[in-house]
Structure 1
Protein backbone atom coordinates (compact mmCIF):
# COMPACT_ATOMS: atom_id res chain seq x y z
CA UNK A 1 0.00 0.00 0.00
CA UNK A 2 2.82 2.39 0.91
CA UNK A 3 4.58 1.70 -2.39
CA UNK A 4 1.34 2.31 -4.29
CA UNK A 5 0.83 5.62 -2.49
CA UNK A 6 4.45 6.56 -3.23
CA UNK A 7 3.95 5.81 -6.91
CA UNK A 8 0.81 7.94 -7.02
CA UNK A 9 2.56 10.81 -5.20
CA UNK A 10 5.46 10.76 -7.67
CA UNK A 11 3.18 10.45 -10.70
CA UNK A 12 0.94 13.36 -9.73
CA UNK A 13 3.54 15.43 -7.89
CA UNK A 14 3.41 18.42 -10.24
CA UNK A 15 -0.40 18.42 -10.12
CA UNK A 16 -0.35 18.34 -6.32
CA UNK A 17 2.04 21.29 -6.22
CA UNK A 18 -0.16 23.29 -8.60
CA UNK A 19 -3.29 22.55 -6.54
CA UNK A 20 -1.59 23.57 -3.27
CA UNK A 21 -0.18 26.71 -4.93
CA UNK A 22 -3.69 27.71 -6.08
CA UNK A 23 -5.11 27.12 -2.59
CA UNK A 24 -2.27 29.15 -1.03
CA UNK A 25 -2.84 31.95 -3.54
CA UNK A 26 -6.56 32.11 -2.76
CA UNK A 27 -6.23 31.52 0.98
CA UNK A 28 -2.70 32.71 1.96
CA UNK A 29 -3.11 32.06 5.69
CA UNK A 30 -3.59 28.33 5.10
CA UNK A 31 0.13 27.62 4.73
CA UNK A 32 1.81 30.55 6.50
CA UNK A 33 2.66 28.24 9.41
CA UNK A 34 5.08 26.47 7.07
CA UNK A 35 7.31 29.53 6.48
CA UNK A 36 9.38 29.31 9.71
CA UNK A 37 9.68 25.54 9.21
CA UNK A 38 11.06 25.50 5.65
CA UNK A 39 14.60 24.60 6.81
CA UNK A 40 13.25 21.77 8.96
CA UNK A 41 11.27 20.33 6.05
CA UNK A 42 14.32 20.53 3.78
CA UNK A 43 16.38 18.83 6.49
CA UNK A 44 13.87 15.97 6.52
CA UNK A 45 14.21 15.62 2.73
CA UNK A 46 18.01 15.59 2.99
CA UNK A 47 17.85 13.04 5.84
CA UNK A 48 15.89 10.81 3.50
CA UNK A 49 18.49 11.28 0.78
CA UNK A 50 21.21 10.25 3.25
CA UNK A 51 19.30 7.07 4.08
CA UNK A 52 19.29 6.04 0.42
CA UNK A 53 22.99 6.70 -0.21
CA UNK A 54 25.33 3.73 -0.53
CA UNK A 55 29.06 3.51 -1.09
CA UNK A 56 28.30 2.12 -4.55
CA UNK A 57 26.81 5.50 -5.46
CA UNK A 58 30.28 7.03 -5.29
CA UNK A 59 32.28 4.34 -7.10
CA UNK A 60 31.83 6.22 -10.38
CA UNK A 61 34.18 8.89 -8.99
CA UNK A 62 36.99 6.34 -9.08
CA UNK A 63 35.96 4.27 -12.10
CA UNK A 64 34.88 7.19 -14.34
CA UNK A 65 36.34 10.38 -12.83
CA UNK A 66 36.20 12.28 -16.13
CA UNK A 67 32.45 11.72 -16.59
CA UNK A 68 31.67 12.76 -13.01
CA UNK A 69 33.93 15.82 -13.26
CA UNK A 70 32.26 16.92 -16.51
CA UNK A 71 28.85 16.67 -14.84
CA UNK A 72 29.88 18.59 -11.71
CA UNK A 73 31.67 21.35 -13.63
CA UNK A 74 28.83 21.67 -16.14
CA UNK A 75 26.30 21.93 -13.34
CA UNK A 76 28.11 24.59 -11.33
CA UNK A 77 29.05 26.66 -14.39
CA UNK A 78 26.04 26.42 -16.71
CA UNK A 79 23.15 26.98 -14.29
CA UNK A 80 24.72 29.93 -12.41
CA UNK A 81 25.89 31.53 -15.68
CA UNK A 82 22.49 31.14 -17.35
CA UNK A 83 20.80 32.53 -14.23
CA UNK A 84 22.99 35.63 -14.25
CA UNK A 85 22.54 36.15 -17.99
CA UNK A 86 18.74 35.93 -17.68
CA UNK A 87 18.72 38.41 -14.79
CA UNK A 88 20.68 40.94 -16.83
CA UNK A 89 18.98 40.32 -20.19
CA UNK A 90 15.43 40.33 -18.78
CA UNK A 91 16.24 43.18 -16.36
CA UNK A 92 14.61 41.28 -13.53
CA UNK A 93 13.55 43.11 -10.34
CA UNK A 94 16.15 42.80 -7.57
CA UNK A 95 14.36 40.23 -5.39
CA UNK A 96 13.39 38.03 -8.35
CA UNK A 97 16.95 38.24 -9.73
CA UNK A 98 18.37 37.11 -6.40
CA UNK A 99 15.90 34.20 -6.39
CA UNK A 100 16.83 33.10 -9.91
CA UNK A 101 20.53 33.17 -9.03
CA UNK A 102 19.87 31.25 -5.80
CA UNK A 103 18.21 28.47 -7.80
CA UNK A 104 21.06 28.49 -10.33
CA UNK A 105 23.69 28.06 -7.62
CA UNK A 106 21.97 25.14 -5.87
CA UNK A 107 23.10 21.51 -6.29
CA UNK A 108 21.26 18.97 -8.44
CA UNK A 109 17.81 17.84 -7.35
CA UNK A 110 17.22 14.19 -6.48
CA UNK A 111 14.32 14.11 -8.97
CA UNK A 112 16.97 14.15 -11.71
CA UNK A 113 17.84 10.55 -10.85
CA UNK A 114 14.25 9.43 -11.42
CA UNK A 115 14.09 11.30 -14.74
CA UNK A 116 17.38 9.75 -15.86
CA UNK A 117 16.04 6.29 -15.02
CA UNK A 118 12.86 6.88 -17.03
CA UNK A 119 14.87 8.26 -19.95
CA UNK A 120 17.11 5.16 -20.03
CA UNK A 121 20.13 7.33 -19.25
CA UNK A 122 23.25 6.44 -17.28
CA UNK A 123 21.63 6.19 -13.84
CA UNK A 124 24.83 5.39 -11.93
CA UNK A 125 26.46 8.53 -13.31
CA UNK A 126 23.37 10.61 -12.53
CA UNK A 127 23.25 9.46 -8.89
CA UNK A 128 26.96 10.10 -8.44
CA UNK A 129 26.82 13.63 -9.90
CA UNK A 130 23.78 14.64 -7.80
CA UNK A 131 25.36 13.21 -4.64
CA UNK A 132 28.72 14.92 -5.16
CA UNK A 133 27.14 18.22 -6.18
CA UNK A 134 25.08 18.14 -2.97
CA UNK A 135 28.11 17.42 -0.80
CA UNK A 136 30.00 20.29 -2.46
CA UNK A 137 27.07 22.70 -2.04
CA UNK A 138 28.30 24.34 1.21
CA UNK A 139 31.38 25.53 -0.69
CA UNK A 140 30.17 26.22 -4.23
CA UNK A 141 26.69 27.60 -3.55
CA UNK A 142 27.73 30.50 -1.23
CA UNK A 143 30.79 31.30 -3.39
CA UNK A 144 28.74 31.49 -6.59
CA UNK A 145 25.95 33.50 -4.94
CA UNK A 146 28.57 35.94 -3.64
CA UNK A 147 30.11 36.23 -7.11
CA UNK A 148 26.88 36.63 -9.09
CA UNK A 149 24.34 38.27 -6.77
CA UNK A 150 26.69 40.74 -5.10
CA UNK A 151 25.63 43.53 -7.49
CA UNK A 152 22.08 43.37 -6.11
CA UNK A 153 22.59 42.77 -2.37
CA UNK A 154 25.24 42.08 0.28
CA UNK A 155 25.85 38.33 0.51
CA UNK A 156 26.54 36.72 3.93
CA UNK A 157 28.74 33.98 2.44
CA UNK A 158 29.99 32.60 5.77
CA UNK A 159 26.46 32.38 7.18
CA UNK A 160 25.27 30.70 3.97
CA UNK A 161 28.04 28.10 4.34
CA UNK A 162 26.96 27.32 7.90
CA UNK A 163 23.26 27.21 7.03
CA UNK A 164 23.73 24.92 4.03
CA UNK A 165 25.93 22.62 6.12
CA UNK A 166 23.24 22.43 8.81
CA UNK A 167 20.25 21.84 6.55
CA UNK A 168 21.94 19.73 3.86
CA UNK A 169 25.15 18.01 4.96
CA UNK A 170 24.26 17.28 8.60
CA UNK A 171 20.90 15.63 7.79
CA UNK A 172 22.54 13.57 5.03
CA UNK A 173 25.23 12.34 7.44
CA UNK A 174 22.58 11.52 10.06
CA UNK A 175 20.60 9.65 7.40
CA UNK A 176 23.63 7.58 6.42
CA UNK A 177 24.36 6.77 10.09
CA UNK A 178 20.72 5.87 10.80
CA UNK A 179 20.68 3.55 7.79
CA UNK A 180 23.77 1.77 9.09
CA UNK A 181 22.58 1.50 12.68
CA UNK A 182 18.85 0.83 12.25
CA UNK A 183 19.14 -1.99 9.71
CA UNK A 184 15.71 -3.46 8.91
CA UNK A 185 13.89 -0.53 10.48
CA UNK A 186 15.70 1.82 8.10
CA UNK A 187 14.73 -0.31 5.08
CA UNK A 188 11.06 0.03 6.08
CA UNK A 189 11.40 3.78 6.54
CA UNK A 190 12.95 4.13 3.07
CA UNK A 191 9.66 2.99 1.52
CA UNK A 192 7.90 5.98 3.08
CA UNK A 193 10.51 8.54 1.99
CA UNK A 194 8.96 9.43 -1.41
CA UNK A 195 5.67 10.29 0.33
CA UNK A 196 7.45 12.37 3.00
CA UNK A 197 9.51 14.22 0.37
CA UNK A 198 6.46 15.04 -1.74
CA UNK A 199 4.52 16.30 1.30
CA UNK A 200 7.50 18.40 2.44
CA UNK A 201 8.04 20.05 -0.97
CA UNK A 202 4.31 20.65 -1.47
CA UNK A 203 4.12 22.35 1.93
CA UNK A 204 7.19 24.48 1.17
CA UNK A 205 5.62 25.67 -2.09
CA UNK A 206 2.36 26.40 -0.27
CA UNK A 207 4.20 28.44 2.34
CA UNK A 208 6.12 30.49 -0.24
CA UNK A 209 3.02 31.18 -2.34
CA UNK A 210 1.01 32.09 0.75
CA UNK A 211 3.68 34.49 1.99
CA UNK A 212 3.91 36.16 -1.43
CA UNK A 213 0.30 35.99 -2.62
CA UNK A 214 0.06 39.74 -3.26
CA UNK A 215 3.47 40.02 -4.94
CA UNK A 216 2.84 36.99 -7.14
CA UNK A 217 0.14 38.81 -9.08
CA UNK A 218 2.65 41.41 -10.29
CA UNK A 219 5.77 39.22 -10.60
CA UNK A 220 4.40 35.83 -11.73
CA UNK A 221 4.75 36.36 -15.49
CA UNK A 222 8.37 37.54 -15.49
CA UNK A 223 9.37 34.99 -12.82
CA UNK A 224 7.74 32.09 -14.69
CA UNK A 225 9.39 33.15 -17.95
CA UNK A 226 12.82 33.33 -16.32
CA UNK A 227 12.42 29.96 -14.60
CA UNK A 228 11.21 28.17 -17.74
CA UNK A 229 14.11 29.54 -19.81
CA UNK A 230 16.59 28.74 -17.02
CA UNK A 231 15.49 25.12 -16.84
CA UNK A 232 15.32 24.55 -20.61
CA UNK A 233 18.72 26.15 -21.24
CA UNK A 234 20.09 23.94 -18.45
CA UNK A 235 18.85 20.80 -20.20
CA UNK A 236 20.15 21.98 -23.57
CA UNK A 237 23.59 23.21 -22.50
CA UNK A 238 24.09 20.23 -20.19
CA UNK A 239 23.46 17.87 -23.11
CA UNK A 240 25.74 19.88 -25.43
CA UNK A 241 28.53 20.02 -22.83
CA UNK A 242 28.47 16.22 -22.55
CA UNK A 243 28.40 15.89 -26.33
CA UNK A 244 31.42 18.20 -26.73
CA UNK A 245 33.27 15.97 -24.25
CA UNK A 246 32.42 12.99 -26.52
CA UNK A 247 30.23 11.24 -23.93
CA UNK A 248 27.80 8.62 -25.25
CA UNK A 249 24.03 9.13 -25.54
CA UNK A 250 23.17 7.63 -22.14
CA UNK A 251 25.74 9.82 -20.40
CA UNK A 252 24.55 12.93 -22.25
CA UNK A 253 21.04 12.34 -20.94
CA UNK A 254 22.35 11.93 -17.38
CA UNK A 255 24.37 15.16 -17.54
CA UNK A 256 21.45 17.02 -19.10
CA UNK A 257 19.16 16.14 -16.18
CA UNK A 258 21.87 16.82 -13.59
CA UNK A 259 22.46 20.28 -15.01
CA UNK A 260 18.86 21.27 -15.68
CA UNK A 261 17.17 20.05 -12.47
CA UNK A 262 17.94 21.85 -9.20
CA UNK A 263 17.41 21.37 -5.49
CA UNK A 264 14.90 24.21 -5.57
CA UNK A 265 13.80 23.49 -1.98
CA UNK A 266 17.26 24.62 -0.88
CA UNK A 267 16.80 27.80 -2.90
CA UNK A 268 13.54 28.46 -1.06
CA UNK A 269 15.16 27.89 2.31
CA UNK A 270 18.11 30.19 1.62
CA UNK A 271 15.82 32.90 0.26
CA UNK A 272 13.55 32.80 3.31
CA UNK A 273 16.46 32.71 5.77
CA UNK A 274 18.77 35.33 4.26
CA UNK A 275 16.95 37.47 1.73
CA UNK A 276 13.23 38.10 1.26
CA UNK A 277 10.07 36.00 0.78
CA UNK A 278 9.79 37.41 -2.76
CA UNK A 279 13.21 35.98 -3.67
CA UNK A 280 11.81 32.53 -2.86
CA UNK A 281 9.27 32.79 -5.68
CA UNK A 282 11.57 31.59 -8.52
CA UNK A 283 12.57 28.52 -6.50
CA UNK A 284 8.92 27.70 -5.76
CA UNK A 285 8.05 28.04 -9.45
CA UNK A 286 11.08 25.92 -10.37
CA UNK A 287 9.75 23.14 -8.08
CA UNK A 288 6.61 22.99 -10.17
CA UNK A 289 8.07 23.54 -13.61
CA UNK A 290 10.99 21.10 -13.58
CA UNK A 291 8.58 18.37 -12.49
CA UNK A 292 6.66 19.06 -15.70
CA UNK A 293 9.56 19.58 -18.10
CA UNK A 294 11.65 16.75 -16.61
CA UNK A 295 9.11 13.94 -17.12
CA UNK A 296 8.26 15.32 -20.58
CA UNK A 297 11.90 15.17 -21.67
CA UNK A 298 12.40 11.79 -20.00
CA UNK A 299 9.39 10.31 -21.81
CA UNK A 300 10.66 11.67 -25.13
CA UNK A 301 14.09 10.11 -24.65
CA UNK A 302 12.58 6.84 -23.45
CA UNK A 303 10.58 6.63 -26.70
CA UNK A 304 13.80 6.98 -28.69
CA UNK A 305 15.66 4.36 -26.64
CA UNK A 306 15.55 1.70 -29.35
CA UNK A 307 17.10 3.95 -31.98
CA UNK A 308 20.78 3.64 -32.85
CA UNK A 309 23.03 5.47 -30.37
CA UNK A 310 24.92 8.19 -32.16
Structure 2
Protein backbone atom coordinates (compact mmCIF):
# COMPACT_ATOMS: atom_id res chain seq x y z
CA UNK A 1 0.00 0.00 0.00
CA UNK A 2 2.98 2.32 0.60
CA UNK A 3 3.73 2.08 -3.13
CA UNK A 4 0.26 1.61 -4.62
CA UNK A 5 -1.51 4.56 -2.96
CA UNK A 6 1.10 7.25 -3.78
CA UNK A 7 1.46 5.67 -7.22
CA UNK A 8 -2.30 5.96 -7.78
CA UNK A 9 -2.23 9.62 -6.79
CA UNK A 10 0.63 10.36 -9.19
CA UNK A 11 -1.04 8.47 -12.05
CA UNK A 12 -4.24 10.42 -11.44
CA UNK A 13 -2.38 13.71 -11.80
CA UNK A 14 -0.49 12.54 -14.89
CA UNK A 15 -3.54 11.21 -16.75
CA UNK A 16 -6.19 13.60 -15.45
CA UNK A 17 -7.38 14.63 -18.91
CA UNK A 18 -7.84 11.04 -20.11
CA UNK A 19 -9.56 9.80 -16.93
CA UNK A 20 -11.78 12.79 -16.18
CA UNK A 21 -14.93 11.17 -17.56
CA UNK A 22 -14.64 8.25 -15.11
CA UNK A 23 -14.79 10.35 -11.91
CA UNK A 24 -18.56 9.83 -11.74
CA UNK A 25 -17.93 6.12 -11.04
CA UNK A 26 -16.42 6.82 -7.62
CA UNK A 27 -19.59 6.41 -5.46
CA UNK A 28 -20.38 3.05 -7.07
CA UNK A 29 -16.83 1.77 -6.60
CA UNK A 30 -16.94 2.83 -2.99
CA UNK A 31 -20.32 1.14 -2.44
CA UNK A 32 -18.81 -2.17 -3.61
CA UNK A 33 -15.91 -1.80 -1.15
CA UNK A 34 -18.44 -1.24 1.66
CA UNK A 35 -20.47 -4.28 0.62
CA UNK A 36 -17.43 -6.59 0.72
CA UNK A 37 -16.57 -5.34 4.21
CA UNK A 38 -20.08 -6.01 5.50
CA UNK A 39 -20.12 -9.57 4.15
CA UNK A 40 -17.76 -10.48 6.99
CA UNK A 41 -20.13 -9.31 9.72
CA UNK A 42 -23.25 -11.09 10.99
CA UNK A 43 -25.85 -10.31 13.63
CA UNK A 44 -24.03 -12.43 16.21
CA UNK A 45 -21.01 -10.14 15.93
CA UNK A 46 -23.15 -7.02 16.05
CA UNK A 47 -24.53 -8.23 19.39
CA UNK A 48 -21.06 -7.56 20.79
CA UNK A 49 -21.88 -3.86 20.62
CA UNK A 50 -24.83 -4.37 22.95
CA UNK A 51 -22.70 -6.51 25.26
CA UNK A 52 -19.88 -3.93 25.46
CA UNK A 53 -21.63 -0.55 25.08
CA UNK A 54 -19.18 1.53 27.14
CA UNK A 55 -16.05 0.94 24.99
CA UNK A 56 -18.12 1.49 21.85
CA UNK A 57 -19.62 4.75 23.14
CA UNK A 58 -16.24 5.93 24.41
CA UNK A 59 -14.56 5.27 21.05
CA UNK A 60 -17.32 7.17 19.25
CA UNK A 61 -17.04 10.17 21.61
CA UNK A 62 -13.27 10.39 21.18
CA UNK A 63 -13.45 9.95 17.41
CA UNK A 64 -16.41 12.18 16.59
CA UNK A 65 -16.54 14.76 19.40
CA UNK A 66 -13.09 15.33 20.93
CA UNK A 67 -11.05 14.97 17.73
CA UNK A 68 -13.27 17.16 15.48
CA UNK A 69 -13.03 19.97 18.04
CA UNK A 70 -9.27 19.49 18.20
CA UNK A 71 -9.02 19.45 14.39
CA UNK A 72 -11.10 22.64 14.19
CA UNK A 73 -8.90 24.39 16.75
CA UNK A 74 -5.71 23.49 14.87
CA UNK A 75 -7.15 24.44 11.48
CA UNK A 76 -8.69 27.70 12.68
CA UNK A 77 -5.42 28.78 14.34
CA UNK A 78 -3.31 28.11 11.23
CA UNK A 79 -5.62 28.69 8.25
CA UNK A 80 -8.75 30.44 9.54
CA UNK A 81 -12.03 29.20 10.99
CA UNK A 82 -13.79 28.72 7.65
CA UNK A 83 -10.83 27.77 5.47
CA UNK A 84 -11.47 24.75 3.22
CA UNK A 85 -8.40 23.17 4.82
CA UNK A 86 -10.01 23.50 8.25
CA UNK A 87 -13.18 21.89 6.90
CA UNK A 88 -11.00 19.09 5.52
CA UNK A 89 -9.33 18.52 8.91
CA UNK A 90 -12.70 18.31 10.64
CA UNK A 91 -14.17 16.10 7.90
CA UNK A 92 -11.29 13.65 8.37
CA UNK A 93 -12.24 13.20 12.04
CA UNK A 94 -15.97 12.85 11.31
CA UNK A 95 -15.78 10.12 8.66
CA UNK A 96 -16.33 6.53 9.87
CA UNK A 97 -13.67 4.13 11.10
CA UNK A 98 -11.56 2.54 8.39
CA UNK A 99 -11.97 -1.08 7.29
CA UNK A 100 -8.20 -1.65 7.35
CA UNK A 101 -8.23 -1.00 11.11
CA UNK A 102 -9.60 -4.54 11.49
CA UNK A 103 -6.32 -5.95 10.16
CA UNK A 104 -4.17 -3.85 12.49
CA UNK A 105 -6.35 -4.66 15.50
CA UNK A 106 -5.84 -8.36 14.81
CA UNK A 107 -2.07 -7.90 14.51
CA UNK A 108 -1.96 -5.92 17.76
CA UNK A 109 -3.95 -8.32 19.96
CA UNK A 110 -7.18 -6.34 19.92
CA UNK A 111 -10.75 -7.58 19.48
CA UNK A 112 -11.38 -8.17 15.78
CA UNK A 113 -15.14 -8.86 16.19
CA UNK A 114 -15.55 -5.68 18.25
CA UNK A 115 -13.58 -3.62 15.73
CA UNK A 116 -15.61 -5.03 12.85
CA UNK A 117 -18.80 -4.11 14.67
CA UNK A 118 -17.46 -0.61 15.34
CA UNK A 119 -16.78 -0.17 11.61
CA UNK A 120 -20.26 -1.36 10.64
CA UNK A 121 -22.04 0.69 13.33
CA UNK A 122 -20.05 3.85 12.61
CA UNK A 123 -20.68 3.48 8.88
CA UNK A 124 -24.40 3.05 9.50
CA UNK A 125 -24.48 6.21 11.65
CA UNK A 126 -22.43 8.30 9.21
CA UNK A 127 -25.47 9.83 7.43
CA UNK A 128 -26.29 11.53 10.74
CA UNK A 129 -22.86 12.05 12.30
CA UNK A 130 -21.05 13.64 9.35
CA UNK A 131 -23.51 16.42 8.38
CA UNK A 132 -24.48 17.03 12.01
CA UNK A 133 -20.82 17.41 13.00
CA UNK A 134 -20.09 19.86 10.17
CA UNK A 135 -23.16 21.94 11.01
CA UNK A 136 -22.45 21.93 14.75
CA UNK A 137 -18.86 23.14 14.31
CA UNK A 138 -19.16 25.54 11.37
CA UNK A 139 -22.81 26.59 11.58
CA UNK A 140 -23.80 28.86 8.73
CA UNK A 141 -20.16 29.53 7.85
CA UNK A 142 -20.09 26.45 5.63
CA UNK A 143 -23.00 25.65 3.34
CA UNK A 144 -23.88 21.96 3.45
CA UNK A 145 -26.70 20.18 1.66
CA UNK A 146 -27.44 18.01 4.69
CA UNK A 147 -30.37 16.16 3.12
CA UNK A 148 -28.35 15.21 0.01
CA UNK A 149 -25.34 14.08 2.04
CA UNK A 150 -27.59 11.92 4.22
CA UNK A 151 -29.32 10.41 1.18
CA UNK A 152 -26.06 9.66 -0.64
CA UNK A 153 -24.49 8.15 2.50
CA UNK A 154 -27.56 5.95 2.88
CA UNK A 155 -27.08 4.71 -0.69
CA UNK A 156 -23.30 4.26 -0.82
CA UNK A 157 -22.64 3.24 2.82
CA UNK A 158 -25.71 2.13 4.76
CA UNK A 159 -27.50 0.18 2.01
CA UNK A 160 -24.41 -1.91 1.03
CA UNK A 161 -23.73 -2.48 4.75
CA UNK A 162 -27.26 -3.74 5.39
CA UNK A 163 -27.14 -5.97 2.30
CA UNK A 164 -23.77 -7.41 3.31
CA UNK A 165 -24.83 -8.16 6.89
CA UNK A 166 -28.11 -9.69 5.66
CA UNK A 167 -26.29 -11.95 3.18
CA UNK A 168 -23.89 -13.04 5.92
CA UNK A 169 -26.79 -13.82 8.24
CA UNK A 170 -28.92 -15.69 5.69
CA UNK A 171 -25.94 -17.77 4.55
CA UNK A 172 -24.94 -18.45 8.17
CA UNK A 173 -21.53 -16.93 7.54
CA UNK A 174 -20.74 -19.11 4.53
CA UNK A 175 -20.96 -16.42 1.86
CA UNK A 176 -17.80 -14.50 2.73
CA UNK A 177 -15.36 -17.46 2.54
CA UNK A 178 -17.03 -18.53 -0.72
CA UNK A 179 -16.79 -15.18 -2.51
CA UNK A 180 -13.74 -13.63 -0.81
CA UNK A 181 -11.20 -15.01 -3.33
CA UNK A 182 -13.04 -12.96 -5.96
CA UNK A 183 -14.43 -9.97 -4.05
CA UNK A 184 -11.30 -9.16 -2.01
CA UNK A 185 -8.98 -8.40 -4.98
CA UNK A 186 -11.79 -6.58 -6.81
CA UNK A 187 -12.49 -4.47 -3.69
CA UNK A 188 -8.80 -3.55 -3.45
CA UNK A 189 -8.80 -2.52 -7.10
CA UNK A 190 -11.94 -0.45 -6.47
CA UNK A 191 -10.25 1.28 -3.52
CA UNK A 192 -7.22 2.09 -5.67
CA UNK A 193 -9.56 3.36 -8.40
CA UNK A 194 -11.30 5.64 -5.88
CA UNK A 195 -7.95 7.17 -4.92
CA UNK A 196 -6.88 7.45 -8.57
CA UNK A 197 -10.09 9.08 -9.79
CA UNK A 198 -10.27 11.52 -6.90
CA UNK A 199 -6.72 12.64 -7.59
CA UNK A 200 -7.95 13.24 -11.15
CA UNK A 201 -10.74 15.41 -9.76
CA UNK A 202 -8.49 17.59 -7.59
CA UNK A 203 -5.67 17.89 -10.16
CA UNK A 204 -6.91 21.23 -11.59
CA UNK A 205 -6.81 22.77 -8.10
CA UNK A 206 -3.41 21.52 -6.95
CA UNK A 207 -1.58 24.46 -8.50
CA UNK A 208 -3.54 26.76 -6.15
CA UNK A 209 -1.87 25.28 -3.07
CA UNK A 210 1.57 26.76 -3.49
CA UNK A 211 3.25 27.49 -0.16
CA UNK A 212 0.24 26.10 1.74
CA UNK A 213 1.67 22.60 1.26
CA UNK A 214 4.59 23.50 3.53
CA UNK A 215 2.14 23.97 6.40
CA UNK A 216 -0.46 21.41 5.32
CA UNK A 217 1.73 18.30 5.33
CA UNK A 218 3.08 18.71 8.91
CA UNK A 219 -0.40 19.56 10.21
CA UNK A 220 -1.93 16.44 8.62
CA UNK A 221 0.87 14.30 10.08
CA UNK A 222 0.26 15.76 13.55
CA UNK A 223 -3.51 15.33 13.25
CA UNK A 224 -3.26 11.67 12.20
CA UNK A 225 -0.85 10.93 15.07
CA UNK A 226 -3.14 12.75 17.52
CA UNK A 227 -6.02 10.51 16.44
CA UNK A 228 -4.02 7.42 17.47
CA UNK A 229 -2.77 9.08 20.66
CA UNK A 230 -6.27 10.17 21.74
CA UNK A 231 -7.59 6.62 21.37
CA UNK A 232 -4.64 5.18 23.28
CA UNK A 233 -4.78 7.62 26.20
CA UNK A 234 -8.58 7.55 26.31
CA UNK A 235 -8.66 3.74 26.50
CA UNK A 236 -6.12 3.30 29.32
CA UNK A 237 -8.85 3.65 31.95
CA UNK A 238 -10.29 0.29 30.85
CA UNK A 239 -7.06 -1.45 31.90
CA UNK A 240 -7.30 -3.86 28.96
CA UNK A 241 -4.62 -4.30 26.29
CA UNK A 242 -7.30 -5.71 23.99
CA UNK A 243 -9.49 -2.61 24.28
CA UNK A 244 -6.51 -0.26 24.10
CA UNK A 245 -5.47 -1.70 20.73
CA UNK A 246 -9.06 -1.75 19.45
CA UNK A 247 -9.99 1.81 20.43
CA UNK A 248 -6.63 3.26 19.36
CA UNK A 249 -6.92 1.89 15.84
CA UNK A 250 -10.60 2.81 15.68
CA UNK A 251 -9.89 6.48 16.36
CA UNK A 252 -6.68 6.50 14.35
CA UNK A 253 -7.76 4.90 11.07
CA UNK A 254 -10.56 6.45 9.07
CA UNK A 255 -12.45 5.60 5.89
CA UNK A 256 -10.37 7.93 3.74
CA UNK A 257 -11.99 6.93 0.45
CA UNK A 258 -15.39 8.01 1.81
CA UNK A 259 -13.84 11.24 3.08
CA UNK A 260 -12.56 12.04 -0.41
CA UNK A 261 -15.95 11.24 -1.96
CA UNK A 262 -17.66 13.62 0.47
CA UNK A 263 -15.04 16.34 0.17
CA UNK A 264 -15.18 16.35 -3.63
CA UNK A 265 -18.97 16.03 -3.79
CA UNK A 266 -20.11 18.62 -1.27
CA UNK A 267 -17.29 21.03 -0.45
CA UNK A 268 -14.56 23.05 -2.11
CA UNK A 269 -12.04 20.79 -3.89
CA UNK A 270 -9.38 22.22 -1.57
CA UNK A 271 -11.25 20.53 1.28
CA UNK A 272 -10.19 17.20 -0.19
CA UNK A 273 -6.47 18.03 0.00
CA UNK A 274 -5.99 17.28 3.74
CA UNK A 275 -8.04 14.11 3.31
CA UNK A 276 -5.95 12.98 0.33
CA UNK A 277 -2.72 13.71 2.22
CA UNK A 278 -3.94 11.63 5.15
CA UNK A 279 -4.00 8.57 2.85
CA UNK A 280 -0.22 8.81 2.54
CA UNK A 281 0.21 9.12 6.31
CA UNK A 282 -2.42 6.84 7.85
CA UNK A 283 -0.88 3.46 6.96
CA UNK A 284 2.74 4.39 7.87
CA UNK A 285 1.36 5.82 11.12
CA UNK A 286 -0.43 2.50 11.75
CA UNK A 287 2.90 0.69 11.37
CA UNK A 288 4.63 3.11 13.74
CA UNK A 289 1.82 2.84 16.28
CA UNK A 290 1.91 -0.96 16.12
CA UNK A 291 5.62 -0.86 16.99
CA UNK A 292 5.08 1.64 19.82
CA UNK A 293 2.10 -0.29 21.18
CA UNK A 294 4.18 -3.46 21.45
CA UNK A 295 6.92 -1.54 23.27
CA UNK A 296 4.44 0.08 25.67
CA UNK A 297 2.73 -3.24 26.39
CA UNK A 298 6.09 -4.86 27.20
CA UNK A 299 6.92 -2.04 29.59
CA UNK A 300 3.54 -2.33 31.31
CA UNK A 301 4.02 -6.09 31.62
CA UNK A 302 7.48 -5.67 33.15
CA UNK A 303 6.17 -3.02 35.54
CA UNK A 304 3.32 -5.24 36.80
CA UNK A 305 5.61 -8.28 37.19
TM over 0.5, shorter chain: yes
Deviations 1:62-105 (A, max 9, x none): 32222222112222113312221221122158222222222111
C-alpha deviation, 1:226, in angstroms: 2.7
The answer to whether the 8 A contact 1:79-1:260 is kept is no
Between the two proteins, the alignment pairs up a number of residues equal to: 297
The equivalences for 1:157-196 within 5 A come to: 157-180=146-169, 186-196=176-186
User: Which of 138, 141, 144 is residue 133 of structure 2 equivalent to?
Assistant: 144
The answer to whether the 8 A contact 2:41-2:117 is kept is no
Worse-matched range after superposition: 155-164 or 276-285? 276-285
The answer to whether the 8 A contact 2:127-2:149 is kept is yes
Q: What is the SS of the residue equivalent to 2:238?
A: coil
**Structure 1 stretches of 4+ moved >6 Å:** none
Worse-matched range after superposition: 178-187 or 202-211? 178-187
In structure 2, the partner of 1:106 is: 95
Take 1:17 and 1:60, find their aligned partners in 2: how far apart are those partners? 33
In structure 1, the partner of 2:78 is: 90
C-alpha deviation, 1:31, in angstroms: 3.7
What TM-score do you get using the length of structure 1 for normalisation?
0.86
In structure 2, the partner of 1:301 is: 293
In structure 2, the partner of 1:238 is: 231
Task: Give 5+ residue unaligned stretches, structure 1.
Answer: 1-12
Confirm whether residue 76 of structure 1 aligns to residue 68 of structure 2: no
Task: Give 5+ residue unaligned stretches, structure 2.
Answer: none
Taking a change above 3 Å as real, the CA distance of residues 50 and 270 of structure 1, as seen in their structure-2 partners, is: same
In structure 1, the partner of 2:256 is: 264
In structure 2, the partner of 1:7 is: none
C-alpha deviation, 1:113, in angstroms: 1.2
Taking a change above 3 Å as real, the CA distance of residues 225 and 30 of structure 1, as seen in their structure-2 partners, is: farther
Taking a change above 3 Å as real, the CA distance of residues 121 and 178 of structure 1, as seen in their structure-2 partners, is: closer
What TM-score do you get using the length of structure 2 for normalisation?
0.87
In structure 2, the partner of 1:228 is: 221
Taking a change above 3 Å as real, the CA distance of residues 250 and 307 of structure 1, as seen in their structure-2 partners, is: farther
The answer to whether the 8 A contact 1:120-1:302 is kept is no
C-alpha deviation, 1:108, in angstroms: 0.6
Taking a change above 3 Å as real, the CA distance of residues 137 and 128 of structure 1, as seen in their structure-2 partners, is: same
Q: CA RMSD in A?
A: 2.4
Take 2:91 and 2:22, find their aligned partners in 1: how far apart are those partners? 20
